[in-house]
Structure 1
């Protein structure tokens, strides 16, 4: 009974914490940043510069966080992460100077690595490796509503609360909603271990043989980093870029298609994608993102082209989130999953942190069309890397002992 009921409840609990985690720690920043800049006497570019720095530092901390998840459990790390996130949001709200605010934002991104997808995926793998890939799909479907929910919530709250007061509200959500749920997940795991001390855990054995793991790790990390750069560059500038292309007020409408497309891709995969291996999902996600960027570059100010761009980008991004969790499990197995995903997250976040600045510089000096073409070309390199991974793997088999039994 535990294998049937608890995973569903854990996915539901994690889904709620991912909506709050991404909504309060990531998506709200773009809405609140103008008020933050005005209050602190900074330019908006400087505020986003601090945010980019925090993403970079967060990437550097990901391997350490991943190792701690393997050592003490992902749910334990998430419980501590919720407390740290709440405290850091409170420091942001209090910050009397630019230096304190900058330090708090950096710490906020480190805490994000302890509570967002990287940690949630590891918690699902710990709970039941056999069903983790499917659970990851369900979780990303729920988590995909974070921007849809928290962009309007943040905008609405900013109408009658200051950004500091909003951050205090967000701190309370992390402390009184997310932390208890993460603690409950931790308690369930420890209680199950006490009830079944002799239970042999099911282990997913990776598709890559030991001698190919290092090469596979480099290839996959490189592919996710390149694709992450391609996606981050576009997302950071999507609405202003569409406005510059001549869409005016329609830029916001076109940009709003991205979120529903992201959720739709996860729903489609949940229903119809069960026969696709994680390497193929990664290839498809990369192709969709590149196709979207190429479409916008070729269509210019043609509205149907922009709509296709937003749909493809959303579909590719949604599937990419699933692949970030399921592909490492498929290739490297469940043993040491936290450390593996931590290393991949480090490469992806560190490279992605530079994307908004690099793409903005390219648009300013080379033009939007050339910048999009270069970005699409970079994305194609990621596609090739994923194709190489997909053609060099064999399907893994789940075992109870952890001994490899390859097909």
Structure 2
């Protein structure tokens, strides 16, 4: 299987060279320019990837609900399983990153997703729909943020935070592309054509950009599939698993992910239940996007002066503070906008800081495998948090959901505080 994958990868490299796109050669001749261009290629590729493989679900959900006649719970169940499948894919993806196969992993995952979208356009039964989303989950786990950020952290070292931030600044516009494009195509030509258009964008734009970006950043990766390299990576993973720092990070980010996912999914009904009109709730939620950009730009400005762990602590405090503000919206409606500003600026940093904190604390040897293990509970928390929110709302209303979110954020902060103390004691 390994030899077949290697041969297929070399065929992919040869194909690009045959049509005159020699990314390896360009990187050898212009290494600095290739690194810069590579990051922007990854940024645009991730934008297309998230629009096509992730946000397409929300963009077409109402259309599928009316056109296919299936219960909305069944539709969202398929999407939840896709995220869980992506989580299960993460450890394997991490090992491929360690082996220097990122250009094949990222682009291959995107092409795999394009094929799944192509098949999704023909789905007329729920089992076929479900299978297509399971395949899309594999594609997400192979080509979106988790493996991309693990790759950038492993290859660009101290510049990883800046490079990951660049990617997220651009990819933040994925929903801006997906929602209007999905609505227009579905209304004008039907949901099947819309799905096939997303498939074409993923396969013809997203995948080549990810391949080009990864190749230019790691133009001549050392073959880390040798027995010695694999042994080093295995030893690094085993050492990490024996360290309490690993388990504190392993707990902290999924816990904050539970809070983040619950709030993001239920924010409109939470705000309307607190007395805001639908228009006011939508306006407050719309502030998340711009504030993510503000938070990420602030992090770039602070890079080098505040550690990644310090910035993670600030973002955790910000999310907890935002949830506390949300609790008083019923009495102070203006608190909704303060909540949106603080929450947007804080939660936009989590996906950036998770791999960087992991690398700073545990090192970069075997980082892909370590990051893959870290991704599993984090993605699971994001997948199940909407259902947890609905369950808590049925039991005790959104007040109970908010109390639970605040308690979970406190536990996440406690884990991060314990990590900080432990690291200082070891100095």
TM-score range, shorter chain: 0.7 to 0.9
Encode CA deviations 1:339-394: one digit per residue, 9 max, x unaligned.
11111110111122211111111112201122101111111100111122223336
CA distance in 2, matches of 1:159, 1:303: 36
Whether 2:262 is the aligned partner of 1:233: answer yes
CA distance in 2, matches of 1:276, 1:176: 40
Q: Which residue of 2 aligns with 1:201?
A: none
CA distance in 2, matches of 1:90, 1:193: 32
Q: Which residue of 2 aligns with 1:292?
A: 322
CA-CA distance at 1:290 after TM superposition: 1.3
Q: Which residue of 1 aligns with 2:243?
A: 214
CA distance in 2, matches of 1:356, 1:188: 38
CA distance in 2, matches of 1:291, 1:189: 38
CA distance in 2, matches of 1:57, 1:234: 23
Across the aligned residues of Structure 1 and Structure 2, the Cα RMSD in angstroms comes to 2.4
CA distance in 1, matches of 2:218, 2:386: 42
CA distance in 2, matches of 1:278, 1:72: 25
SS in 2 for 1:12: helix
CA contact (8 A) 2:106 2:210 kept: yes
Encode CA deviations 1:214-269: one digit per residue, 9 max, x unaligned.
31111101111111111111111112332233222221111111111111100111
Q: Which residue of 1 aligns with 2:409?
A: 379
Q: Which of the residues 391, 402, 420 maps onto 1:361? A: 391
Question: In the superposition, relative to structure 1, how do residues 43 and 193 fare at CA in structure 2: closer, same or farther (>3 Å)?
Answer: closer
CA-CA distance at 1:170 after TM superposition: 0.8
Whether 2:202 is the aligned partner of 1:150: answer no
CA distance in 2, matches of 1:374, 1:312: 19
For structure 1, list consecutive stretches of 5 or more residues without a partner in the other structure: 195-207, 396-405
CA contact (8 A) 1:246 1:301 kept: no
CA-CA distance at 1:145 after TM superposition: 2.2
CA distance in 1, matches of 2:153, 2:202: 23
Q: Which residue of 1 aligns with 2:168?
A: 140
CA-CA distance at 1:62 after TM superposition: 1.2
Q: Which of the residues 337, 347, 351 maps onto 1:307? A: 337
Question: In the superposition, relative to structure 1, how do residues 322 and 213 fare at CA in structure 2: closer, same or farther (>3 Å)?
Answer: farther
Q: Which residue of 1 aligns with 2:8?
A: none
CA-CA distance at 1:72 after TM superposition: 4.2
Range moving further from structure 2, 149-158 or 304-313: 149-158
Q: Which residue of 2 aligns with 1:104?
A: 132
CA distance in 1, matches of 2:342, 2:36: 30
CA-CA distance at 1:118 after TM superposition: 1.2
CA-CA distance at 1:54 after TM superposition: 1.9
SS in 2 for 1:13: helix
Question: In the superposition, relative to structure 1, how do residues 241 and 30 fare at CA in structure 2: closer, same or farther (>3 Å)?
Answer: farther
Encode CA deviations 1:76-96: one digit per residue, 9 max, x unaligned.
200110110100111111112
Whether 2:213 is the aligned partner of 1:185: answer yes
CA contact (8 A) 1:147 1:259 kept: no
1:5-404 alignment to 2 at 5 Å?
5-188=33-216, 191-192=219-220, 214-248=243-277, 249-300=279-330, 302-393=332-423
CA contact (8 A) 1:220 1:389 kept: yes
What TM-score do you get using the length of structure 2 for normalisation? 0.84
Question: In the superposition, relative to structure 1, how do residues 393 and 210 fare at CA in structure 2: closer, same or farther (>3 Å)?
Answer: farther
CA distance in 1, matches of 2:220, 2:243: 34
* Number of equivalent positions: 384
Range moving further from structure 2, 342-351 or 33-42: 33-42
CA contact (8 A) 2:38 2:215 kept: no
CA contact (8 A) 2:274 2:329 kept: no
Question: In the superposition, relative to structure 1, how do residues 67 and 124 fare at CA in structure 2: closer, same or farther (>3 Å)?
Answer: same
For structure 2, list consecutive stretches of 5 or more residues without a partner in the other structure: 1-28, 223-236
CA contact (8 A) 1:60 1:350 kept: no
